């Protein structure tokens, strides 16, 4: 009888069976693994490679360098400096929530703010934590080795001249897009095209290797402006001093190159620093010289006289009777500060007689007047390309009435900007030719359009020079060593109920040197408190700007020692 012990007894047959079973199992497992490996490596290779790349290879943007803005001599007005922005993948960073206070300290952020920003954006893959950090600060963030926290190289705009050029150059937003001034007007020129590349990242999102360049970043182009930073500085200095000295509300000054139309300086008060975003308010960054309109007052009279002389019915020596110092036009009473009696047109301009100007305007055809004013660019944009520039205001002659025609003669009933008025005076200085205003440096003198004859322009220049005579209203605009031509202006500001008696705009517009004009300059002081006449407030600013600018430009003096132009002698003799 067989026992259980006999049945369990080890035999060679059983040993072989077990060996075959175990070896077969290993062989089968090996075959299965080989087949699986073959499937993964051969049949599913493309799919798995794509999945791997999706987890470790990323498309990274390469920021494009924005072009620099330079003055005409190559001095930088706006440049881009490299900075790093810190961003995060919220889901990846959420696993290290206990380290958020540590991250917050390095970022100089509130820990609760970071926690809220991460928790509220878990469905997103990209959120900024801090923009535009210095590279050394950003390196400390990266050194933390926190999951999901990464750096992005960007560029930040810097303005070396600060508030001196702020109104003209403008500024960009945090994404380096132009928002105001030349930054906005020439954004298409300055802005580059970002590049794209594929990079290999580790599990912390750090770039290990650049794999492939998809699109090369194209930097923006530099913009060489017409601005002369030296003249800009001195114009800014003198304007700021005058606005402060007279307690004025605001002020503007424009300096044009007469023969090219280039803007050499354009300044305003109050100003702002484009490097400080806390100062970005419309009242501070608005370029008043190009956007704010005002009634030009007596600075408009030279344009009236140019129109009169162009008819050939008038000459600088034509006598006009201003007695008794007032003139009734409908319900309007035009008055002079004193009765000048019978005076010629040159003296009328030197003494700034409103009655004389009104009589001249009323004796002319409205269409002839309008045609010349229109040719000077009144009521039209200067085509400078500055964003937000105002065209001013001048109605068509078909809408004029006698009262309007009379007040227009001395600068009321129409509006201009400081830039527009400077362009009009540049026409006179350029021999009657109007050229487009340019904020970009020019290599050649542009062709222009004739507005008045060269003889008319020369005659008006002579009359304007008489204004600077010691007895003229603009004697404070005189410049030692140079002959100067210009005109004062004082206009009352309109408000509710009519024109104000205590709110004025003080103006001076002029050309220098008078023998061969190089500069056209306009100074406007808005609501000065202690004095308000253009000859007292604006003319001295013109004198100081022109004096230094002519020497910076190495323009030789044109006034011989002791020389007094005959036109000034005639004006003095008429006193």
Locate 433 and state its tokens: 């030719």
Q: Are residues 479 and 405 in the same domain?
A: yes
In a domain, 24, yes or no: no
In a domain, 25, yes or no: no
Domain that holds residue 165: 59-224
Per-residue pLDDT of 246-302, as tens digits, reads 999 999 999 999 999 999 999 999 999 999 988 988 888 899 999 999 999 999 999
Stretch (H or E) spanning 536? helix 534-537
Q: Are residues 295 and 188 in the same domain?
A: no
Given 196, 224, 252, which residue is the final one in a domain?
224
Q: Are residues 175 and 291 in the same domain?
A: no
In a domain, 45, yes or no: no
Q: Are residues 175 and 271 in the same domain?
A: no
- Cβ atoms within 10 Å, residue 37: 10
Q: Which residue has the higher pLDDT, 9 or 493?
A: 493
In a domain, 503, yes or no: yes
Rounded to the nearest 5 degrees, what angle is found at the Cα of 272, between the Cα atoms of 269 and 274?
A: 145
Place 6 in a pLDDT band, splitting at 50, 70 and 90. low
Mean pLDDT, the chain, as a whole number? Answer: 88
Q: Are residues 291 and 395 in the same domain?
A: yes
Given 180, 196, 224, which residue is the final one in a domain?
224
pTM: 0.82
Quick one: which of 295, 268, 297 has its CA closest to 283? 268
Place 7 in a pLDDT band, splitting at 50, 70 and 90. low
Active site residues per annotation? 298
Q: Report how far residue 401's alpha carbon sits from residue 354's, in angstroms, rounded to the nearest whole number.
A: 18
Per-residue pLDDT of 223-253, as tens digits, reads 999 999 999 999 999 999 999 999 999 999 9
Q: Report how far residue 9's alpha carbon sits from residue 17's, in angstroms, rounded to the nearest whole number.
A: 14
Q: Are residues 171 and 248 in the same domain?
A: no
Q: Are residues 112 and 261 in the same domain?
A: no
Locate 102 and state its tokens: 């540590």
**Helices and strands (H, E) in the chain, number of each type:** 23, 21
Locate 322 and state its tokens: 């201003």
Q: How many residues does the chain have?
A: 575
Looking at the structure of the chain, the number of domains it has is: 2
Place 307 in a pLDDT band, splitting at 50, 70 and 90. very high
Give the dihedral sign, CA 348/536/251/504: negative
Torsion of CA 567, 409, 340, 322, to 10 degrees: 120
Per-residue pLDDT of 310-353, as tens digits, reads 999 999 999 999 999 999 998 889 999 899 999 999 999 999 99
Given 224, 250, 285, which residue is the final one in a domain?
224
Q: Are residues 310 and 355 in the same domain?
A: yes
Q: Are residues 356 and 255 in the same domain?
A: yes
Q: Which residue has the higher pLDDT, 85 or 209?
A: 85
Quick one: which of 515, 508, 511 has its CA closest to 546? 511
Q: Are residues 290 and 220 in the same domain?
A: no
Spatial neighbors of 110 by CB under 8 A, at least 6 apart, are 104
CATH number at 115 reads 3.90.1310.10
- In 29-134, where do the E strands start and end? 57-62, 69-70, 76-88, 127-133
In a domain, 33, yes or no: no
Q: Are residues 256 and 108 in the same domain?
A: no
CATH number at 376 reads 3.40.710.10
Q: Is the peptide bond before 365 cis (omega within 30 degrees of 0)?
A: no
Task: Flag the least confident range among 23-37, 425-439, 449-463, 517-531.
Answer: 23-37
Q: Are residues 274 and 214 in the same domain?
A: no
């Amino acid at each position: 009888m067989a026992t259980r012990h006999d049945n369990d007894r080890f035999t060679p047959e059983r040993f072989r069976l077990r060996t075959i079973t175990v070896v077969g199992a290993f062989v089968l497992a090996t075959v299965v693994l080989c087949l699986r490996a073959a499937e993964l490596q051969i049949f599913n290779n493309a799919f798995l490679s794509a999945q791997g790349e999706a987890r470790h290879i990323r498309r990274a943007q390469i920021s494009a360098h924005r072009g620099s803005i330079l003055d005409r001599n190559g001095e930088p007005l706006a440049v881009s400096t490299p900075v790093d922005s810190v961003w995060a993948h919220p889901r990846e960073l959420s696993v290290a929530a206990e380290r958020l206070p540590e991250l917050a300290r390095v970022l100089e952020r509130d820990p609760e703010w970071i926690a809220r920003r991460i928790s509220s954006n878990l469905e997103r893959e990209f959120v900024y934590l801090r923009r535009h950090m210095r590279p050394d600060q950003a390196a400390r963030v990266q050194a933390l080795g926190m999951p999901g926290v990464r750096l992005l190289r960007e560029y930040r705009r810097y303005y070396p001249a600060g508030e001196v050029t702020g109104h003209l150059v403008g500024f960009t937003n945090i994404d380096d897009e132009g928002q105001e001034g030349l930054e906005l007007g020439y954004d298409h020129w300055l802005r580059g095209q970002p590049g794209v590349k594929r990079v290999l990242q580790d599990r912390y999102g750090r770039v290990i290797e650049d794999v492939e360049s998809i699109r090369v970043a194209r930097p923006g182009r530099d913009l060489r402006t017409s601005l002369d930073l030296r003249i800009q500085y001195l114009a800014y200095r003198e304007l700021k001093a005058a606005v402060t000295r007279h307690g004025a509300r605001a002020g503007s000054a424009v300096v044009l190159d007469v023969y090219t139309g280039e803007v050499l300086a354009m300044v305003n008060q109050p100003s702002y620093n484009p490097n400080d975003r806390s100062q970005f308010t419309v009242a501070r960054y608005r370029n008043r010289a190009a956007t704010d309109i005002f009634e030009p007052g007596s600075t408009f009279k030279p344009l009236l006289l140019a129109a009169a002389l162009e008819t050939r019915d008038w000459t600088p020596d034509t006598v006009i009777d201003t007695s008794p110092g007032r003139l009734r036009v409908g319900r309007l009473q035009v008055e002079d500060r004193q009765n000048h009696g019978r005076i010629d047109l040159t003296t009328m301009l030197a003494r700034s007689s409103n009655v004389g100007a009104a009589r001249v305007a009323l004796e002319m055809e409205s269409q002839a007047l309008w045609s010349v004013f229109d040719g000077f660019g009144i009521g039209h944009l200067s085509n400078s390309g500055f964003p937000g520039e105002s065209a001013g205001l001048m109605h068509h002659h078909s809408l004029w009435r006698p009262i309007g025609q009379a007040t227009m003669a001395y600068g009321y009933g129409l509006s201009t900007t400081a830039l527009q008025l400077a362009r009009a005076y540049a026409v006179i200085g350029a021999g009657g030719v109007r050229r487009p205003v340019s904020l970009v440096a020019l290599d050649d003198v542009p062709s222009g359009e004739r507005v008045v004859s060269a003889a008319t322009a020369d005659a008006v220049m002579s009359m304007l020079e008489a204004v600077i005579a010691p007895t003229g209203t603009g004697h404070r605009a005189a410049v030692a060593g140079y002959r100067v031509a210009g005109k004062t202006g004082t206009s009352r500001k309109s408000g509710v109920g009519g024109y104000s008696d205590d709110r004025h705009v003080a103006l001076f517009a002029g050309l220098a040197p008078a023998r061969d004009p190089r500069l056209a300059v306009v100074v406007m002081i808005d609501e000065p408190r202690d004095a308000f006449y253009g000859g007292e407030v604006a003319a001295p600013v013109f004198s100081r700007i022109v004096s230094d600018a002519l020497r910076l430009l190495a323009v030789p003096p044109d006034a011989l020692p002791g020389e007094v132009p005959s036109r000034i002698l005639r004006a003095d003799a008429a006193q």
